[in-house]
Structure formats: C-alpha cells, structure tokens
Chains A and B, each alone.
Chain A
Amino acid sequence: MSGAGVSLPLRSGTQFDQLSSLLDATLDQPDVVFISADASGSFRLSPQLRQSQGKVIEVGIAEGSAVGIAYGMSLRGYKPFVVGFSTFTVLRGLEAIRSYVCYHNADVTILGGMSGLSNSRDGFMHQSTDDVGILSAVGGIRVLTPSDQSSLELTMREVMRDQGPKFLRLYRTVIELGDDAVSLSAWTPVAVRLDFGSDFAVVSYGHVLQEGAAAVRSLRALGKRGRLVEVLQLEPLDHRALLSAIGAARLVISVEDHQIKSGLGGRLKAVLNEQGENACKLVSVGLQEGQYGSSGRLPDLLAGCSIDAAAIEQAVSTASTEHHRKNF
C-alpha cells in the first residue's frame, strides 16, 4: 500500500528523552551502571550508553532479580540504576527493594518509567497507580517525582549526590509547564511553580502538574487567583516546606494519578490535620480506593478518571462555593 496521503502518527517524546542527555553525562563516571529489565530500548538509553562496555547490563524480563543484581553491584562499589516499568519494578522487585536496598541503605536508584496513568494506551496492568504508597509503606527510600526539564535536571543532580535508596517516578509524557512557570535553579523538595495569588493552592507532582497549571491559569481568568505547588519529593515529605509553599491559601487541591489514600492526598490530609483549627480545606483529585486505570488516549483517560484540568477547576469552584455559603 502506498504511503501517499497517509501520515504516520507522531510519537510523542517521553520523559526519558529529556533524561537521555542527563544519563549520557554518566559516561565518564565508571561507577555508574544501568541494570535494565528489557527496558533499554523503551527508555531511550542512548546508543553511546548502550555501547559503552559494561555500562548497560540487560538482564531481561526480570525486574525482581534486577533489583537484587543492582544491590549486589553496589556491594562492590558501583552506583547502579535499575531501569524498568514503574509498576513491574515496584511490584516484582519489592522484596529486594525492601530486604536489600532499603534495609541496607544501599546506593541503588530505581528509574521507574511509564508511571501513573502516563502509559495510557497499555491499560491498567502497565499503569502504576500505587507505587508511591507501596514504597512509602516499606520506608527508607526517597520517592522523587520530577516534572519538567528544570525539575528533572535538579532531581538528577540530587540523585547523583545522594548515596541512599532512591526511586524516580518518570512518565511516558514530556512535561512542559509553560513560559510563565517559575524555572527552578536549585534542588528543593517542594516548589511554587505558578503564583497568581493565595485564593487556593493546587498541589501536585509529575506529569499531571500540567493539568494543575492549566486549571490555575483558567481560574485566574475567572477571577480566582491561586498558585501551583510542585512536590518533587513525596517521600519523605517535607511538611514545613509544603506548608510554606501553600502559604495563606485556605483551600488546597491535591492532584495525582495515583491512589489518593496512599499518595499525596493522604499525606496532605495528615499534614493539614496537624494544623488543628487552623487547617485549611482539602479536596483530593486522584484515584479513589479500588479505582484503576484503563486503556485510552491520555487526555481521555485523565478526563475519565476526573484527573484533568476541568476536574480541578470544578473542585476549586465547588469548594469555594461551599466555603462562601458556610461563612455567610
């Protein structure tokens, strides 16, 4: 069949495309190795990296063992990165993550790709919507959740500096927050990325931060002036930095493509409850208990799960109206 008139669908970039040059920077660091669970192609590890002798060790579809192998290499002075799908690496690799990496405080980093609902077309088994909760239940591992280029670059610098267990939640999508977003210049676990006022604060992480940014902008046009707070490190969560970023806002909307209860929503609830009578109102946007993803184009999936900009705008409007009624 002739290709005339038929345009191939454009394949959108992944966060690994953004990460690729950062990983290439490890070419002159002989202690850095990548243990790939049949993922070196999917995650765009560059030809230079893959052809560098011993730099990328492909172990096949063996996420559980990939983590154990990485731990073994760390015992002999290497700084290993496990490369795999977030859901498979966390679920299959959990025992090694818990009993070797976390318990022994090993310098092993898991690059968990296709996190959240970002791998939208592949359906629920490929989607990772409980990884943060599972890892925080284990404890002793930093869960890092970068979004756009600036937060990704700073997070990678932090990863190279840190010598303990780390999990990077990475996405199938390239994340851009827009020209009016604050570009980060130094590593911080929490950052204000858009600041139009303190009527409300949208607190989010990872690729759905884009949905939060779109909602904050739309609401500004309607006269509601809020801010967008990015959480770059979900575990352990820096309560003080988070409260400082929320500032004077009395309404907080948490947004995530993860189970609310074990994700940001549950954590924010605990943090805000600590404020007692001064606690501001919290509305959580994300997956409810027992809710999983499904196949679909990402915008349709996010809309179907009520984790898109429209759902966030609706949450702010509804909560603002309730607040108004209570006070008058």
Chain B
Amino acid sequence: MIKLDQEEATEVEVLVDVARKVRRRTLALISEAGYGFLGPCFSCVDVIVCLGWSAATRCFATESNDHANLILSKGHAAAALYAALAEYDGDGEQEVYAEFGSPLQAHPNSARLPRVMVSSGSVGQAVPVAVGVALAEKLHGRRNRTYVLSGDGELQAGAVWEALLAAASQKPQPNLVVIVDANGFQSAGRVPTLESTKSMVETIVSRFVEIDGNDISQVLQALNDFEQHEGLGAIWCWTRRGAGLKGFNDEWPMSTIGSSELVSQWLRDLEEGR
C-alpha cells in the first residue's frame, strides 16, 4: 500500500479527474471520426496525464523549456494525446480526428501539429529520435528528462534495441526514461514476447521499475522517483486495454469502436465519473 502525503493525495485526486475528462474527449474524437484505436488509447491515458500535468514532469508546459519532454512512440494512441493536450490547453472545441486537412492526423504529425514534439506511427522509429533529443539535452547541460512512451508490441521492432543500446553505452548516459504501456495486445492479438522484452529492457537500462500503469498514484510515484535519478531508465506499466470503458474486453478487435448505444453509454459514464 503506497502512503501519500496530503499534497500528493491532492495531486492524485486532481489527476484521476483529469484522466476521466481526457478519456471522455478521446472517446468523442474517435467515435465522431468513426475511426481510431480505443484499446491502446485508453490503456495509456493515465500515464499521459501524469506526464503532462504532474509537478515533477510538466511535459505539456509551454512557458519554459526546463520541463520534461514527452515523445509518444506508440503513435496509434494519438487520439489520447490530442485529447490530453486539448484538455490541458483548455480548448473548448476540438479539431476532428483523422479527417483530410485536420492537424489531428491518425498518427501524430509534428509538421501539421507542432504542439506534438515528434511524429510517430511507424512503431519503434520514435525511440531513436527520443535518444537523440535526450543526448542533445545532456549536451546542452540541461537536467530535464525525456520520456518516450512505447507499446509492448512495439518492443519487437529492432530500432528500439539499436537505440537503447546506443543510449546505454554513452558516458554519461542521457536522461531518458522508456515507459512501456504493457497492455498485452498488438494488432494480431496477444503479445507473445512480453516476458522476453521485459527482461531485455531490464538488462539494458540502469534503473527499472514495474507498476500498475492505470493507477495514477503509482505512476506519479514512479515519475517522482525517476526525476531524482540520472541516466537511462524504464518504467514497465502493466495496463488494461480499453481501461475505463465498461465492457471493453480482451476479445475487442483493435480498431472497432462499438455501437452508437454503447458509445453513448460510455460517454455518459465518463461524464458522470462512473
């Protein structure tokens, strides 16, 4: 049982409510577009919210450059990132998702939406970019961390390992933290490589923790911890696909959205915080 002080407890309460609002916005984006990936978006909402809002990381801050960087490598969770940014920026009306001409491309495109730091979508490819950003921050003499949010299936891509080995071999290591959204699923079904890739990550990085990635208090505590340590690290987040959507289960196909009745029910649930 994690013990929180009053300030931390308040931050958890606030972010639990923010995560609910972000989930509602994410569902609205995807259902209005009739396109998107509910499972992998909802599994990582809590992590995105903690990275964006927490006092430790403040990844969404725009007023200075001393905050942490967030790079969403699992680009198919773009709708969750867009929803979180819109919530943070207080945007009343969101752009449409994955429609022609919209800055909210199905996978993040920083050329169309500069608020997103790095384009992604081709799984694995944004991890080397994150290594480059973290190396640059180190060379500039800045202490801020770079967090790269990766999927568990994504860890099958070779670019991830080339990049992590390159980062691990630097002296000093860049301040890079890989966050793995381990929801256990990839496009073709269950991820068969979970245990292998987990142990590979654990072997390469200097600091490794395993948490429940849908428990905001655990995510916050991990981020606070990593902000105190230099070098290459990883937070392995066990998450649930479609977390926060009642009735969403392991059999749900990756890009299926659900009936309009079900979506309406989910929207009501999220509105009322059920």
Contacting pair B128 A69 (CB below 8 A): yes
Asked if A57 CB lies within 8 Å of chain B CBs, one says yes
Query: A61's closest neighbor in chain B, by CB?
Result: B162
Selected interface stretch from B47-55, B87-95, B133-141, B212-220 = B133-141
Contacting pair B163 A65 (CB below 8 A): yes
Query: With A95-B125, A104-B119 given, is the CB distance from A69 to B137 under 8 Å?
Result: no
Contacting pair A64 B159 (CB below 8 A): yes
Contacting pair A100 B129 (CB below 8 A): yes
Question: A77 — which chain B residues lie within 8 A by C-beta?
Answer: 136, 140
The interface centre, meaning the residue of A62, A65, A68, A77 with most chain B CB atoms within 10 A of its CB, is: A65
The interface centre, meaning the residue of B127, B134, B136, B137 with most chain A CB atoms within 10 A of its CB, is: B136
Asked if A99 CB lies within 8 Å of chain B CBs, one says yes
- CA of A71 to CA of B159, assembled, Å: 14
Contacting pair A64 B169 (CB below 8 A): no
Contacting pair A54 B139 (CB below 8 A): yes
Asked if A326 CB lies within 8 Å of chain B CBs, one says no
Contacting pair B162 A71 (CB below 8 A): no
Kindly provide the distance from the CB of B20 to the nearest chain A CB, expressed in whole angstroms: 32
**Residues of chain B at interface, number, CB under 8 A:** 30
Asked if A168 CB lies within 8 Å of chain B CBs, one says no
- CA of A74 to CA of B139, assembled, Å: 12
Bitwise, A155-175 to B at CB < 8 A (1) or not (0) is 000000000000000000000
Enumerate chain A interface residues (CB-CB to B < 8 A).
33, 35, 54, 57-60, 62, 64-78, 80, 95-96, 99-100, 103-104
Count of A-B residue pairs with CB < 8 Å:
99
Contacting pair B122 A60 (CB below 8 A): no
Contacting pair B135 A75 (CB below 8 A): no
Query: With A64-B128, A64-B159, A104-B110 given, is the CB distance from A72 to B119 under 8 Å?
Result: no
Contacting pair B118 A75 (CB below 8 A): yes
Contacting pair B165 A99 (CB below 8 A): no
Bitwise, B158-177 to A at CB < 8 A (1) or not (0) is 11001101100110000000
- CA of A78 to CA of B184, assembled, Å: 37
Contacting pair B133 A68 (CB below 8 A): no
Question: B122 — which chain A residues lie within 8 A by C-beta?
Answer: 95, 99
Query: With A64-B128, A65-B163, A76-B137 given, is the CB distance from A99 to B118 under 8 Å?
Result: no
Asked if B103 CB lies within 8 Å of chain A CBs, one says no
- CA of A65 to CA of B157, assembled, Å: 11
Query: With A64-B158, A65-B131 given, is the CB distance from A100 to B125 under 8 Å?
Result: yes
- CA of A62 to CA of B162, assembled, Å: 6
- CA of A77 to CA of B140, assembled, Å: 10
- CA of A89 to CA of B8, assembled, Å: 48
Q: Which of A69, A70, A100 contacts B119 (CB 8 A)?
A: A100
Asked if B4 CB lies within 8 Å of chain A CBs, one says no
Contacting pair B163 A73 (CB below 8 A): no
Query: With A65-B162, A69-B128 given, is the CB distance from A75 to B133 under 8 Å?
Result: yes
Contacting pair B132 A75 (CB below 8 A): yes
